[in-house]
Amino acid sequence: MDALASLLDGPRARGAFLLRSVLTTPWSLRIADRAPLTLMYMVSNGGWVVPDGAPPVRLRPGDIAVVRGPAPYTVADDPATEPRIVIQPGQVSTTPQGEELCEEMDLGVRTWGDRTDGEEEQPDSAVLISGTYQMHGEISGRLLTALPQVLVLPGDAWSSPLPALLCDEIVRDQPGQEVVLDRLLDLLLIAVLRAWFSRPETGTPAWYAAQSDPVVGPALGLLHEGPAHPWTVAELAARTGVSRAALGRRFTELVGEPPMSYLTGWRLALAADLLREPDATIAAVARKVGYGSPFALSAAFKRVRGVSPQQYREAAGREAAAAAS
């Protein structure tokens, strides 16, 4: 498993919130749902993403934006348009004064908008498809911090059948459709990030660029594929066909930290995600991520993160409850 695949395993869609919005100019949505990651496909008429305290970013028809949360932001036909709708945690839509709007804006299967004339869509309507990842995961943290707050992949910068397929599937109401949409959203996110990272002007993160190195790439793959294995630099070096010194030097140069430090961070990120599962014991988590005992995991976890696994689990539960409320 390569580094990107491992990191994307964190934000994998499970019951993701997908919606097709049909909006009449002037329109403006204040997004305050605290979601960690949202993907938006601008189907028609264009708009702007306006992060708080940052310059607005243009969205033309065919463009795809990936917005990193949980900070609020605005999506509008024009940066100057005042928000008329607020998307709250739990994907509840309200007026800026707090009055709920969900029922009156319902336009059918996963479709929502502000048309009041009996027609779902007019030539002046902006159509926006959004997919919101609602999971907060530690593995995805390394990925999310590598992204700008707003990433826009221009529609003319790549070619993929996935956006059109998502447009077709989002309005279907068939058995198993939520799973189909989750997987489509995952595929689209992976395709967009690969296309984004391949662009020289985007500042590719070190861990992603290092995958193409003939020595460090295989070493990263080994660590991600088998985090529970008792790795040493010597074994990694032997498996990649270089000396210990050569591997350590090249790994640190390209990734930004030594192999064993990277492995520790990866193991603890995995542990943090697993600790969010209510049925996972600390002992079971320790075994899955390469620690010989719950005590060893707890010591490493507290040393790096400042809290015990149990304290982390309790805090994560409170965070999830707050995000859902």
Which range has the worst mean pLDDT, 157-166, 203-212, 305-314?
Answer: 203-212
Same domain, 137 and 214: no
Same domain, 62 and 165: yes
Q: Which of 185, 202, 219 is the last residue of a domain?
A: 202
Same domain, 101 and 153: yes
* Number of other residues whose CB lies within 10 A of the CB of residue 86: 21
Is residue 269's pLDDT more than 80? yes
Owner of token pair 């940052």: 54
Total domain count, the chain: 2
Task: Please tell me the predicted confidence (pLDDT) of residue 11.
Answer: 47
Which two three-digit tokens encode residue 129? Answer: 């498809």
Same domain, 67 and 197: yes
Same domain, 303 and 320: yes
Q: 232-243 pLDDT, tens per residue? A: 999 999 999 999
Q: Which CATH number belongs to the domain containing residue 291 in this structure?
A: 1.10.10.60
Q: What is the mean pLDDT of residues 155-173?
A: 91
Q: What is the mean pLDDT of residues 284-304?
A: 94
Same domain, 84 and 231: no
- Look at residues 197, 207, 205 and name the one whose alpha carbon lies nearest to residue 257: 207
Task: Please tell me the predicted confidence (pLDDT) of residue 43.
Answer: 94
| Residue pair 231/239 in contact by the 8 Å Cβ criterion | no
Strand order across the 150-153 sheet:
106-108, 111-113, 17-24, 125-133, 37-44, 64-68, 150-153
Q: Which of 202, 225, 253 is the last residue of a domain?
A: 202
Task: Please tell me the predicted confidence (pLDDT) of residue 122.
Answer: 63
Q: Which CATH number belongs to the domain containing residue 83 in this structure?
A: 2.60.120.280
Q: Which of 171, 202, 233 is the last residue of a domain?
A: 202
Is residue 97's pLDDT more than 90? no
- pLDDT, averaged across the chain: 85
Q: 99-110 pLDDT, tens per residue? A: 887 676 777 888
| Residue pair 102/95 in contact by the 8 Å Cβ criterion | no
Same domain, 142 and 289: no
Instruction: Tell me the percentage of the chain whose pLDDT exceeds 70.
Output: 86
Same domain, 196 and 220: no
Same domain, 196 and 244: no
Q: 167-226 pLDDT, tens per residue? A: 999 988 888 888 888 888 888 988 898 888 877 766 677 777 788 899 999 999 999 889
Instruction: Tell me the percentage of the chain whose pLDDT exceeds 90.
Output: 46
Task: Please tell me the predicted confidence (pLDDT) of residue 5.
Answer: 62
Same domain, 232 and 250: yes
Same domain, 56 and 157: yes
Q: 19-38 pLDDT, tens per residue? A: 899 998 899 999 998 888 89
Provide the residue count of the chain: 325
Task: Please tell me the predicted confidence (pLDDT) of residue 323.
Answer: 57
Please state, in angstroms and rounded to a whole number, the distance separating the CA atoms of residues 247 and 239.
Answer: 11
Q: 34-59 pLDDT, tens per residue? A: 888 899 999 999 999 999 989 999 99
Please state, in angstroms and rounded to a whole number, the distance separating the CA atoms of residues 228 and 289.
Answer: 5
Q: 65-84 pLDDT, tens per residue? A: 999 888 999 999 999 999 98
Give whole-number Cα distances, 211 to 101, 147, 196, 308, in Å. Answer: 47, 17, 16, 32
Same domain, 158 and 256: no
Can you give the residue range of the structural domain that contains 122? Answer: 3-202
